[in-house]
Structure 1
């Protein structure tokens, strides 16, 4: 897969964790989807534009500029969010965040200063972002960090994720 959502060297790419690679792949797929949608919308507009007999109008160029501008803005936001999320997911080995170290493979931010509800939301959102329900459940079941991090909420989230698997 070609990654052009952000500039990243081969060396940096090889140093990414599995979770970071998944974030990069997902962002690249969203970017590609944004580009396809802009092209599809422009083609629909072009057909409507020509069928309305407005061939000599500059509306097509205006619409094209608008669609491309929106696409570029959304792509820039996507890239900024990806860079931010990749930086959050870098192994830190502890520090002011409450991270106890060794949890860098979790894939989500492990911050013990958060309330259990906030932790639940972070872990839930992380696992719901995995499209394959079987993979999601297998990863969640094997996640020892989540068992410690969520404590009593682990079973609740397991039941919620199982509901989405049906």
Structure 2
């Protein structure tokens, strides 16, 4: 089935099984490998992308559901000033260790800051609660969100 959608602001058309996951379409069919496959069950957040501005688990979304929609991955987000703000804040706070969770964390923090440019620590922790990180203990990621909010003042 032909599925047409915007990927990182570019119109794309893929011809795939409509029940194939968005994750497998991104990684396998389209070679957009920043989106990671972790659990395959929507529990770890490694596959997080923005769909129509909302954070979703790409492993749980059939590609047919993105028809006509807008998908943003780390590849697209890192080309934006806001995306760079989040990435630089994670680096500054040393919120990146092995890097496996990083794409999902960047998308989660971006979505949070879009909704709330000055989040509380509780709001930050709630926003990243769907993303599993085995390395940082989350403190540095929370700090990165605070840095991004401060340095990105006026962006959000």
Relative to the length of structure 1, the TM-score reads 0.32
Higher alpha-carbon Rg: 1
Q: Which has the higher contact order (CA 8 A, sep 6+)?
A: 2
**Which of the pair is proportionally richer in helix?**
1
The structure with more strand, counted as a fraction of residues: 2
